[in-house]
Amino acid sequence: MLFRKQRKIIKIISFFWILSSCKTVEKKNIIVNEHVIKQEILPEKQSRQYKLKKYQDYDFEEKFKNMVDRIYNEMLTEYDLNFTYSIEPEGAVYPFSEVSVSCIADKRISNLKRERVCGDFLNRLDKEYDNLKGEIK
């Protein structure tokens, strides 16, 4: 009986020994003195917030959406670049009382062109929004 216990202990020890020997250690590659080029990375998404009416007004919201869509189409023909926009509700009580309009440019567009097209899109949107703002009460 004692011999059986010794055999069992030996089997358990050998099992854990084999199990521990299977563990691999991952070696880290350390690169020293490698020249890294730093490129300024602009966000691919630029956005602005606009306050709309505090209550639900489908006509006004439709005018705002049509205004954004019209400016977007003008910018597409003018710049001939791949970009799009999104309108996201930001209001607390009524979600569309405040919206965020984002200009999302293609990753393949250079930073300068991305900044120019999104900046121009949002600036034109600001000017048109100022004209539309008279209807907000």
pTM, rounded to two decimals: 0.63
Domain tally for the chain? Answer: 1
2-56: per-residue pLDDT in tens? 567 777 777 777 766 665 665 555 555 555 555 544 444 445 678 899 988 888 8
Quote the CA–CA distance of 49 and 122 in Å, as a whole number: 10
The confidence score (pLDDT) of residue 123 equals 93
**Do the domain assignments include residue 95?**
yes
80-100: per-residue pLDDT in tens? 778 889 999 988 888 888 999
> Facing residues of 102 across strands?
47, 86
Q: How many CB atoms lie within 10 A of CB 38?
A: 5
* Ramachandran region, residue 33 (left: φ > 0; alpha: ψ -120 to 50; beta: rest): left
Q: What is the CATH number of the domain that holds 103?
A: 3.30.70
Q: Which domain holds residue 126?
A: 45-135
Contact assessment for residue 98 and residue 49, using Cβ atoms and an 8 Å cutoff: yes
